Structures are given as C-alpha cells and as structure tokens.
Amino acid sequence: GYAQVGAESDWRTANTKSFKSTFTEENGYKLIFDDAQQKQENQIKAIRSFIQQDVDYIVVAPVVETGWETVLKEAKDAGIPVILSDRQMKLSDDSLYTCWVGGNFIKEGHDAGDWLAAYLKKQGRENDDINIVTLQGTIGASAQVGRTEGFGDKLKEHPKWHMLATQTGEFTQAKGQEVMESFLKSYPDIDVVVAENDNMAFGAIDAIKAAGKTCGPNGDIIIISFDAVAAAFDAMMAGDMNCSVECNPLHGPRVDAIIKKLQAGEKVNKIQYVDEKLFDTTMDLKAIKATRLY
C-alpha cells in the first residue's frame, strides 16, 4: 500500500508515476495506491485500510511530520513494516518505521541561499539591501520545514537580506499565484521570491506579470524555486525563472530496492538521502532537460 500525499504538483505527479510504473504485477507486486488529497486524516485512513487488507509493506509519503504514532503503532502490532519515502516523520519512537528515503531539504535550502549570494555578488549587489518574500509549502511538511530552515540559516549570514513575508501557498500553482498577488500589493519593492516548489513559482510568475512587473535574469524580481521539474526548465529558458534546486521524485525504484533487501533479510540504512543538484540560466538547460525523466 502506498499512502501518497496528493496530486498538488508536477513533482508529485512524477512521484506517483514512478511508483505506479515500478510496483507492477510484472515486477511481482500488487500496488494499492491511495491519494490523500493533502489531508493527514485521509492518509491515516488509508494506512488503516492497508492494515486491514494485510499488505506486506506500507509506504508513506507523510503530508506533515507529526501525529503518526498511533497509526504506526497499529501497523507495528500487525507486523507490517512501514517505509517512509519523500517527506519525513518526527516520532517519539523511531522503531515505528523501517527506513526513509528522500531529498535533503535543509541542504536544498542552503543551496538556494548560496546560489543567491553568488548571483548577487556577480551583479555587484552584495552590499545592497535585498527584499525577499517566501512562498512556503504545506506548513509542517518536511519539505517546507527543511527548505525554510535551510534558507533561514543563509539569511542569518546575510544581514542585508530582509525577509519581508512568508506565507504558505500549499505547494500549488493556484495558491502560489494568490499569495504572490497579495505580496505584490503589500510590498512594492520585492527583489527576490523564494518559492518552496516550482508550481508555486509558476503561479508567482503569472501574478508578477499580471501586476505589470518582470522577473527572471533580465527582470525586476529574482525567482528561486525547488524541484527542477521539466516545466521549470521551460520557465528558465523563457527567461522567467532564475534557478531551481533539484528535488528528485523518482522514489519508486528506490523503495523497490529497499523491499528487495528486506525480503532477502538484509539490513537497510535507516536514513537514505538522494543526491541532488541545482540548475540556473547560465547552464545549457536545453541539453540537460533532454536527459531528464521529470
């Protein structure tokens, strides 16, 4: 059983596709897939139904980090191993899950901040006051928590960077656009938008253009985002976005490898980070995009 978050972003769509194409009958699996529509209570229901159906493994991409003890205890009592993928859980007892595989969200936030510092330096703006707003992901999701924390560490290193406002755009394009519209009304002098995923950045770009402003390497506002999905490469090539910090969604084969090891009675690493890069408009994005699967 796979308790998926929802279908809120291009990243999520690629993640779902990765699971559905990996856990096929041909490969020896029967996948029960549940889309929780970004609601923890739906994921808890899905996990309970997986337990009732006596699945062999439960995989969870937890919407938020906290509040899982009771249901994971039920899985443990039923003798069903729980594998976490993508986002993490914060638990009082880590023996409630077998292992986790996903992106290093704090590092992604650090990479975004380091990219901005280098970019501003190149423009001779390293001593300027820089006004920043953040479109946050779903509050309490580890992708939100980690990226906010990572970029926050970099803010502390740069006293001239001013975080004017942070608000959640729920990782969706529509909400990202809506929040950006209100940011633009409240703050006439925004230099940088940090969008905690690409889809919110796409919404922000629409809002900026609708307000008669420009963004990207030749525009008024610098756009930094996370995920590096195919459409982000298009936005960078169109000159609307500056950089996207990669987050790899192709966890299906990784979870498959974990299950195979467990089946063979082997040990698995508790925490497994995936290597990730960063892409910006100085690179040959067309060539790089052609090699990517999402």
Verify binding: residue 4, ligand GYE, rule CB under 6 A.
no
> Which range in 6-14, 24-32, 185-193, 253-261 contacts ligand GYE by CB under 6 A?
6-14
Which H/E stretch holds residue 291?
A: none
**143 touches ligand GYE by CB under 6 A:** yes
- The window from 3-11, 50-58, 124-132, 173-181 that contacts ligand GYE (CB under 6 A) reads 3-11
Q: How far is the CB of 64 from ligand GYE (least distance, A)?
A: 11
| 240 touches ligand GYE (CB under 6 A) | no
> Is there binding between residue 8 and ligand GYE (CB under 6 A)?
yes
Exactly one of 62, 72, 86, 221 binds ligand GYE (CB under 6 A); which one?
A: 86
Residue number with CB closer to ligand GYE (87 or 154)? 87
Q: How far apart are CA 29 and CA 36, in angstroms?
A: 21
87 binds ligand GYE (CB under 6 A): yes
What is the closest distance, in whole angstroms, from the C-beta atom of residue 67 to ligand GYE in the complex?
17
User: Counting Cβ atoms within 10 Å, is residue 211 exposed (0-12), middle (13-18) or buried (19+)?
Assistant: middle
Nearest to 268 by CA among 57, 83, 76: 83
Instruction: State how far the Cα of 243 lies from the Cα of 253, in Å rounded to an integer.
Output: 27
Interaction with ligand GYE in 164-203: which residues (CB under 6 A)?
Answer: 171, 197
**Residues β-bridged to residue 215:** 221
| Number of neighbouring beta carbons within 10 Å of residue 201 | 31
Among the listed ranges 7-15, 92-100, 109-117, 158-166, the one in contact with ligand GYE (CB under 6 A) is 7-15
Return the bridge partners of 58, or none: 82
SS3 category, 263: helix
Q: Which residues of 227-243 are buried (b: 16+ CB within 10 A; e: fewer)?
A: bbbebbbebbeeebbbb
Residue 138 Cβ, how far from ligand GYE at the closest point, in Å?
7
* Residues at the interface with ligand GYE (CB under 6 A): 8-9, 11-12, 86-87, 103, 143, 171, 197, 226-227, 247
